[in-house]
C-alpha cells in the first residue's frame, strides 16, 4: 500500500509533465530572471533504517523494519547563481512511523520485547544544489543534491529508561545526504515542481542501552535512516 502511494504520485508527476509539454504558450517567461524566489512544498515519505550488525558472541541478531507512509511540509528559498545552478534552502517538518521487529527475541516470554513502535517527527533542514537544464517550452528538468540536518523531536535520547523499560531511544541531532531529480513546470500563475529524492543518514542514529550486553542495541553497529521523499513544490 505504501509503495503504491509513492508510485501513484510519481505517475501523477509524469502526467502533469506531458500536459505541460502540450502547452504552446510560454508561461511565466521572466520567472528565471529572479535572483531569489520563495515557495512551499507538500509531500509524502517512506523511511526505514539501514542496519549493520556487530559480531555478537551472545546471539545471532535478526532485525527487520516495517515502514509506513508519512508526510512532509515546508518552505523554500532559492538563490540563483547561474541560469543552470542555484542553491535551495528547504526547512520543514517530516513525520513518519516505523515498526522494528527483533526476530531473535520472538521466543521471549514477553511478546512485547520483540516489537518497538517508533513515531518520529523531524525538523528537516536541507541545503541543496540544484542543477537545471535549459528551459524547453514550459518544462525544465533538474537534478539536486546536498546535505541536511534533522532534529528529532521524538528521539527520547534524554530519557533515563531504555529498552529494558520498553523505551527505544534515538539520537536527537542527525545529518543526512540527499540526491534526487525533478521537473519545473511553468503554469499560468506559478511554477509547479514535483521531485523524487533519496535521503540517507550519515551518522549512527541509535542511542545504546545502558547495559552493554543489551539484547536490543548491543548487536547493532550502525542504524541510520534511509528513505524516499516525493515532494510537490509551489513557487
- pTM comes to 0.83
- pLDDT, one tens digit per residue, over 180-226 is 999 999 988 999 999 999 999 999 999 999 888 888 888 889 999 99
| Per-residue pLDDT tens digits for 72-130 | 999 999 999 999 999 999 999 999 988 888 887 776 656 677 888 888 899 999 999 99
Using DSSP, state whether 74 is helix, strand or coil: strand
**All three cell numbers of 3:** 509503495
> 205, 223 in Cβ contact below 8 A?
yes
pLDDT in tens, 22-37: 556 788 888 888 999 9
| Fold of the domain spanning 2-234 | Porin (2.40.160)
57 vs 163, higher pLDDT:
163
Distance of CA 15 to the CA centre of its chain: 24
Amino acid at each position: 500500500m505504501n509503495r503504491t502511494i509513492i508510485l501513484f504520485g510519481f505517475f501523477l508527476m509524469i502526467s502533469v509533465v506531458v500536459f505541460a509539454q502540450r502547452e504552446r504558450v510560454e508561461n511565466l517567461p521572466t520567472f528565471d530572471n529572479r535572483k531569489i524566489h520563495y515557495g512551499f512544498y507538500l509531500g509524502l515519505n517512506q523511511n526505514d533504517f539501514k542496519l549493520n550488525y556487530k559480531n555478537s558472541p551472545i546471539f545471532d541478531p535478526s532485525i527487520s523494519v516495517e515502514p509506513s507512509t508519512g508526510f512532509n511540509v515546508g518552505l523554500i528559498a532559492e538563490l540563483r547563481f547561474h541560469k543552470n545552478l542555484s542553491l535551495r534552502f528547504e526547512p520543514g517538518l517530516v513525520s513518519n512511523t516505523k515498526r522494528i521487529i527483533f526476530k531473535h527475541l520472538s521466543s521471549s516470554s514477553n511478546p512485547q520485547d520483540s516489537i518497538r513502535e517508533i513515531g518520529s517527527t523531524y525538523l528537516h533542514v536541507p541545503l541543496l544544489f540544484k542543477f537545471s537544464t535549459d528551459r524547453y517550452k514550459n518544462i525544465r528538468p533538474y537534478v539536486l543534491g546536498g546535505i541536511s540536518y534533522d532534529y528529532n523531536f521524538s528521539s527520547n535520547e534524554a530519557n533515563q529508561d531504555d529498552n529494558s523499560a520498553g523505551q527505544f531511544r534515538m539520537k536527537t541531532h542527525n545529518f543526512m545526504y540527499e540526491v534526487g531529480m525533478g521537473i519545473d513546470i511553468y503554469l499560468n500563475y506559478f511554477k509547479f515542481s514535483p521531485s523524487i529524492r533519496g535521503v540517507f543518514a550519515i551518522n549512527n542514529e541509535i542511542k545504546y542501552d545502558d547495559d552493554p550486553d543489551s539484547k536490543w542495541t548491543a548487536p547493532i553497529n550502525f542504524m541510520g535512516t534511509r528513505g524516499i521523499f516525493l515532494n510537490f513544490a509551489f513557487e
